[in-house]
Structure 1
Amino acid sequence: MTRARVRPGPAIVHSGIGAIDELPELLRRDGVTRVLWVHGAQALRAATPFLPDLGTVEIIDAGFTSECSPAEIARLQHLATARGADAVLGIGGGKVLDTAKAVGHPLSVPVYLVPTLVSTCSGWSAVSVYYDEEHRHLGHEIWDTPTRGLLLDPRIVFDSPVALFVSGIADTIAKHVETRAAFDRSDSADTLTAFGGLAAARCGELISRHGITAVDDMRRGVRSDAWTMLAEACVITAGLVGALGAEAGSATAAHPIGDALSAFAPTRDLLHGVKVAYGILVQLAYERRWEEIDRMNELYAALGLPRSLADLGLSVQDPATLDTIAEIATGEHSSARLLTPPPSAADLIATMHALEVRQSRLDNVVLAHHPLAPPVERNIPMAEVESFTLDHTAVLAPYIRLIAVEKGPRGDAISNFDVRFVQPNEGEIPTAGLHTIEHLLASLLRDHLDGVIDISPFGCRTGFHLITWGEPAVADVAHAVRESLAAIATDITWEQVPGVDEISCGNYRDHSLHSAREWSKRILSQGISLDAFSRVGV
């Protein structure tokens, strides 16, 4: 009979197309009248098209700062108490969902979770992982109270960045690698623990079989069976490992090593799963599973996961780097101590040396990443740029706007157009979809408009600069853009998207034809105006 303490999963789970539609009835049955919404801005935009009307339930829009930190949890708990919230709804990725749990459970109110990413098992797990405002790991907390409801809707999560899916896959590999030895040692008569072990093995099996295909399908905009299985594995199956496996389902060495990488500037801002992926290889090396590392290398290269310290921008030749990783990963409260035998700092240093020697024959990997560029402060004189003098609150997107016509020394004219697809400061096209639209417009526009020099996306992701020879009419540019978007929305297949491999693209993993299609349809449905400040020719 099972004696181990089982960590509860969600009391109610809806997974599949339309899962979010169950939210109003779930709140009604639970008698919820006032719910605290915890969400990031991008997460809410991803979910908004699918969120149902909550009827008479009052929404307290609390937002989210950026970290599951003690300060943010305290802020949200104060708001929930002051406004009399009788439930918490988390909409977002792992940090948001962990925060929602940390806010609601101590207040003894039900917590409902809507993932917008499949990058962690936070939607299932009864754990909140804490960081400070600089994203330094502070620890975690395990909750006795189960989450009231998990609503995993593929329509919401499929359009998320592919890199975050890759991060989730790496985190799910860790569920298998980190717990295997403990499950092998556990009492086979402990039924629930045994099921936790089966869940961990299933994580490894699904990723080995379908990992590369699932990621490629997501890049191509195909919501395939492989993608669906991996998405549920990252959230649900991975969550079952800790929920049923109890102590045997705990992290061991891979996660502490990944957390230790946050101590270095080159790796601090890397995705969680990318850092854990290197920890997985170190743990496998410590366990002398060299053949498994060799099998992992192909998967890692295809997904953009690090196979060496060099891939992470670190050097095995730097003793301070190895010392820091080893000391943090084997600290007093580290889960690496759950390994048998527990590694010392010297053991981990020797293991990393052996691993790096073995991996030195491999080519470098371009890491999966989700670009989040912080603003750059400049204190030097800068030329005035027309785009920055435009009143972005006065325009009405979508539109085509002639910015300027420049004349060369021999009288040649070059026109610069503002091709605005999204209303400024009210939304943005996700990077993967924008990237794919850019590649397609580069080709399709030339079929409908003479003299195209370049089409380049705005950094704000609300549209494009179009540069042409001559002085084409705005109406002709609008016609060419409409025809191109119509082809993207209905006709283009993944095989027709140019420049989606590592030879022809500088970030080939960050593409989504599905996102490009959906945004093209949305832009066309709104109509493209011939005037930036009024709706003309729509």
Structure 2
Amino acid sequence: MSRIYKSPSRYIQGPGAITELGAHAAPFGSSALGIARTAAIERMGAAIKRGFEREGAMLALEPFGGECTDAEIKRLRSLARERGCDVIIGIGGGKVIDTAKAVAHTLGAPVIVCPTAASSDAPVSALSVIYREDGTFDRYLYLPASPDVVLMDTEIAAAAPVRLTVAGMGDALATYIEARACAASGAAVCGGGTMTRAALALARSCFDTLMEDGVKAKAALDAGCLTPAVENIIEANTLLSGIGFESCGLAAAHAVNNALARRPEAARSMHGEKVAFGVLVQLVLENAPTKELDEVLGLMRAVGLPTTLAALGIEDASRELIDAVARDACAPTDTMGNLPFAVTPAGVRDAIIAADAIGGSR
């Protein structure tokens, strides 16, 4: 099986980068459909349109419907066709970006993504997470290519609610831990093939950056500052984590997240928060050294990531509920099987219970 490495064609990060959007979009087409939440359009729309006008290109901004569902993708695809748009742009968080990528895929059009927070690694991946109409997880949509351009304005990301960047740290925390499991099992990476040494090195760099700069970045963000540590964490949450997961693979942490995401009890928690708890579950399944478990827990607590089911919103974690989550996480279509050892729903159930106890007591 061939080694495969995926990445966006271009990644741009820095303060004020959103003003360059028109210049980066113009080479791909003369008319773009921009998808964003209404608040983002009101806050940034005029400035972004001025950039397109300077390039002699057109931009139509359309409010996002709220969920990355099949119905929303179909609606926006039809709108893009009606308006003759030849470029799709997603401006916002993970669900906006995933929707833009899916719309572009169905049209065969180039896609540019502009994250407004460093809340997940969705921006750089050739993947969209599709949800049901009630907001619960449905499936992964694997795409043939990563975005053409990822433009991350760090002034905008740093001004977002701090919880979003912290959730991004939770998502990024899983990158290397899942990558090394996939390396040990020889699992295929997202979209097929096996991992490269380059991807595994980036996954490791993601983990090291979180440990080195995570607490410093959280303090700076709480104080309303954009520091080198914040820049590093934004890159780790977005670029390093995105390339790392996609070109190395996923394992137990994301399988647990997916199962939790299907539970309405956990609806108030963010993707990265559920993934972070999934990291604890995976470390329990692996019987990770106490030193490593303490290191991971120390970071999670220091930046405010949830370490228990109750912190995710599951106040009454009955045995029946945990059994259901464990069975769901072990579905053949999910990524639990990428661990380098056999796993059963009963074993995952016990690991969830143990992770919850460890997260609440240490």
- TM-score of the pair, normalised by structure 1: 0.62
CA distance in 2, matches of 1:88, 1:63: 13
Unaligned runs of 5+ in 2: 188-192
CA distance in 2, matches of 1:242, 1:311: 25
Are 2:114 and 1:110 equivalent residues in the alignment? no
| Distance change in 2, residues 1:191/1:353 (3 Å) | closer
Are 2:115 and 1:133 equivalent residues in the alignment? no
Whether the 8 Å contact between 1:10 and 1:147 is mirrored in structure 2 is yes
Give percent identity, aligned residues only. Answer: 30
Higher relative contact order (CA 8 A, sep 6+): 2
Q: Could you list the per-position Cα deviations for residues 171-224 of structure 1 after superposition, in whole angstroms to 9, with x for gaps in the alignment?
A: 00011111112235659xx99710111111111111111111101101101111
Aligned amino acid, residue 34 of structure 2: W
The answer for the alignment partner of 1:195 in structure 2 is 198
Whether the 8 Å contact between 1:47 and 1:116 is mirrored in structure 2 is no
Aligned amino acid, residue 69 of structure 1: T
Moved more, 327-336 or 55-64: 55-64
Cα shift at 1:309: 2.4
SS in 1 for 2:213: helix
The answer for the alignment partner of 1:300 in structure 2 is 300
SS in 2 for 1:38: strand
| Distance change in 2, residues 1:46/1:219 (3 Å) | farther
SS in 1 for 2:102: helix
CA distance in 1, matches of 2:3, 2:314: 40
CA distance in 2, matches of 1:125, 1:11: 11
| Distance change in 2, residues 1:85/1:359 (3 Å) | closer
Aligned partner (choices 34, 38, 44) of residue 47 of structure 1? 44
| Distance change in 2, residues 1:14/1:314 (3 Å) | closer
CA distance in 1, matches of 2:286, 2:259: 19
Aligned amino acid, residue 284 of structure 1: L
Are 2:345 and 1:342 equivalent residues in the alignment? no
Q: Could you list the per-position Cα deviations for residues 277-317 of structure 1 after superposition, in whole angstroms to 9, with x for gaps in the alignment?
A: 11110000000014122222222222222222233343687
Structure with max Cα Rg: 1
Cα shift at 1:127: 0.7
The answer for the alignment partner of 1:26 in structure 2 is 24
Are 2:179 and 1:179 equivalent residues in the alignment? yes
The answer for the alignment partner of 1:320 in structure 2 is 320
Query: 1:232-381 to 2 correspondence within 5 Å?
Result: 232-243=235-246, 245=247, 249-291=248-290, 292-314=292-314, 318-362=318-362
Cα shift at 1:5: 3.4
- TM-score of the pair, normalised by structure 2: 0.91
The answer for the alignment partner of 1:90 in structure 2 is 90
Unaligned runs of 5+ in 1: 363-538
Cα shift at 1:49: 7.1
Structure number having the greater helix percentage:
2
| Distance change in 2, residues 1:270/1:16 (3 Å) | same
CA distance in 1, matches of 2:284, 2:241: 23
| Distance change in 2, residues 1:166/1:155 (3 Å) | same
Cα shift at 1:28: 2.9
Cα shift at 1:339: 1.0
Whether the 8 Å contact between 1:116 and 1:160 is mirrored in structure 2 is yes
The answer for the alignment partner of 2:190 in structure 1 is none
SS in 2 for 1:151: strand
Q: Could you list the per-position Cα deviations for residues 144-187 of structure 1 after superposition, in whole angstroms to 9, with x for gaps in the alignment?
A: 13422111111221110100100000000011111112235659
| Distance change in 2, residues 1:324/1:20 (3 Å) | same
Whether the 8 Å contact between 1:50 and 1:156 is mirrored in structure 2 is no
Q: How many residues align?
A: 353
| Distance change in 2, residues 1:318/1:162 (3 Å) | same
| Distance change in 2, residues 1:47/1:342 (3 Å) | farther
CA distance in 1, matches of 2:46, 2:277: 37
| Distance change in 2, residues 1:250/1:58 (3 Å) | same
Moved more, 78-87 or 141-150: 141-150
SS in 1 for 2:265: helix
